[in-house]
């Protein structure tokens, strides 16, 4: 979280000190801020097997929402940049026709997700950028548990990678809209306890897939 905060602060400072750079160096050059929303699905990976019910799709779906920031350089139609996101999701586990729809992590709700990565693409037509992206993601899944009428607040932090592709269209001088598909895979996790005196527990290897279709609108400085 500290790295994400520093990234956003540094980008904001750069945007304030260089307001004309986006227009001087190309249509897609400059610091950008964006609002994000879309479809989010976490799914048990191929190594997670549910022997109780073969019809269990082992997935949870919901709405993902959040914000992103980045900085791009347009080298005459070839665009490269760095970016970061902070999002949350409404997806959680539950029962469907009496069958528990789990993803291998127990009874959880999807929490915040931190992403830091890069993207590269090309200007397919005036104002239209087509790109691919990839980077690191840390997702949180909040454990929904109670004992003797008391709620507990343990969390699972999962580390993995993300890849994706999308298109961004520039409206006017500074505003833009985008849509993209992203796939994430989480392979390592730890259990974090509400009580800070209890050390985190390494859960070892996991296998969790995540699919997202995201739309965004933003402003480039």
> What's the CATH number where 141 sits?
2.40.160.20
Query: What are the tens digits of pLDDT across the range 68-105?
Result: 999 999 998 999 999 999 999 999 988 777 777 778 88
Return the structure tokens found at 211: 């699919």
Q: Give me the average pLDDT of each 10-residue run along the chain (221 residues).
A: 44 43 64 98 75 64 97 95 98 79 86 98 95 98 69 86 97 93 96 79 90 97 91
- The structural domain count of the chain equals 1
Q: How far, CA to CA in Å, does 190 sit from each of 187, 194, 201, 221?
A: 11, 13, 5, 38
Residue 4 · residue 202 · CB < 8 Å: no
Owning domain of residue 68:
2-220
pLDDT of residue 50: 54
The whole-model pTM stands at 0.81
Residue 73 makes CB contacts below 8 A (sequence gap 6+) with 25, 26, 29, 79, 80, 81
CB burial class (10 A; 0-12, 13-18, 19+) of residue 105?
buried
């Amino acid at each position: 979280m500290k790295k994400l905060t520093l990234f956003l602060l540094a980008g904001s400072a750069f945007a304030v000190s260089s307001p004309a750079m986006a227009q001087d160096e190309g249509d897609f050059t400059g610091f950008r801020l964006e609002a994000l929303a879309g479809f989010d699905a976490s799914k048990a990976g191929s190594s997670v097997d549910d022997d109780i019910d073969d019809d269990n799709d082992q997935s949870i779906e919901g709405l993902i929402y959040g914000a992103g920031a980045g900085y791009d350089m347009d080298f005459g139609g070839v665009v490269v940049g760095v970016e970061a996101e902070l999002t949350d999701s409404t997806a959680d586990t539950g029962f469907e026709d009496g069958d528990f729809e789990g993803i291998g992590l127990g009874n959880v709700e999807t929490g915040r997700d931190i992403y830091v990565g890069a993207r590269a693409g090309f200007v397919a037509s005036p104002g239209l950028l087509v790109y691919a992206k990839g980077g690191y993601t840390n997702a949180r899944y909040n454990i929904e548990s109670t004992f003797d009428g008391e709620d507990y607040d343990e969390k699972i932090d999962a580390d993995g990678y993300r890849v994706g592709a999308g298109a961004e269209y520039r409206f006017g001088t500074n505003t833009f809209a985008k849509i993209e598909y992203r796939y994430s895979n989480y392979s390592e996790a730890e259990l974090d306890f509400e009580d800070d005196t209890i050390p985190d527990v390494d859960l070892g290897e996991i296998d969790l897939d995540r699919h997202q279709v995201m739309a965004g609108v933003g402003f480039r400085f």
